[in-house]
């Protein structure tokens, strides 16, 4: 953290990013990746290869939205902020309803989202790692 940055402000910004992802996923809007992810972001989903880079992460989200209606609720368990890096350890309750046929799929997930402070002072997601419980 720089001397002029308040850690509370950084936590508030990370909280807002989490809420933006929640809103966007519930609305099927992948543009959240452009706004809140660094160019070199890596998304590591359960049971799939990592999506390396902003475009790959956005494409993976678009593929999810093409196949499912998504309902998600995120809860932060811990936010830790350093000078240049921060992380948000969170849980999620998700329902993926297939577009077309099929029963809704419910998941509880544990996630770790890592952020890097950009030169303009904004926090950008650089890693998103999650797994489903049981």
* Residues β-bridged to residue 111: 90, 130
3-state secondary structure string, the chain? Answer: CCCCCCHHHHHHHHHHHHHHHHHHHHHCCCHHHHHHEEEEEEEECCCCCCEECHHHHHHHHHHHHHHEEEEEEEEEEEEEECCCEEEEEEEEEEEEEECCCCCCEEEEEEEEEEEEECCCCCEEEEEEEEEECC
How does residue 20 score in pLDDT terms, banded at 50, 70 and 90? very high
Class of domain 7-132: alpha beta
Q: In whole angstroms, give the CA distance from residue 91 to residue 111.
A: 6
Q: In whole angstroms, give the CA distance from residue 45 to residue 128.
A: 8
Task: Kindly report, residue by residue over 44-57, the tens digit of the pLDDT.
Answer: 999 999 999 999 99
How does residue 58 score in pLDDT terms, banded at 50, 70 and 90? very high
Q: Where are the chain's structural domains?
A: 7-132
Task: Kindly report, residue by residue over 77-133, the tens digit of the pLDDT.
Answer: 999 999 999 999 999 999 999 998 999 999 999 999 999 999 999 999 999 999 999
Q: Is the pLDDT of residue 6 over 80?
A: no
**How confident is the model at residue 134, as a pLDDT?**
77
Q: In whole angstroms, give the CA distance from residue 64 to residue 51.
A: 13
**How confident is the model at residue 56, as a pLDDT?**
99
**How confident is the model at residue 5, as a pLDDT?**
58
């Amino acid at each position: 953290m720089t001397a002029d940055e308040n850690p509370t402000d950084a936590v508030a910004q990370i909280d807002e990013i989490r809420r933006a992802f929640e809103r966007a996923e519930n609305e099927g809007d992948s543009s959240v990746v452009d706004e809140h992810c660094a160019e070199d972001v890596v998304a590591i989903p359960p049971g799939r290869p990592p999506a390396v880079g902003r475009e790959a992460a956005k494409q993976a989200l678009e593929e999810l939205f093409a196949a499912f209606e998504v309902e998600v609720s995120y809860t932060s368990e811990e936010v830790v902020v350093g000078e240049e890096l921060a992380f948000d350890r969170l849980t999620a309750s998700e329902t993926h309803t297939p577009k077309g046929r099929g029963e809704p799929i419910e998941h509880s997930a544990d996630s770790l989202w890592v952020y890097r402070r950009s030169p303009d002072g904004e926090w950008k997601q650089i890693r998103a790692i999650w797994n489903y419980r049981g």
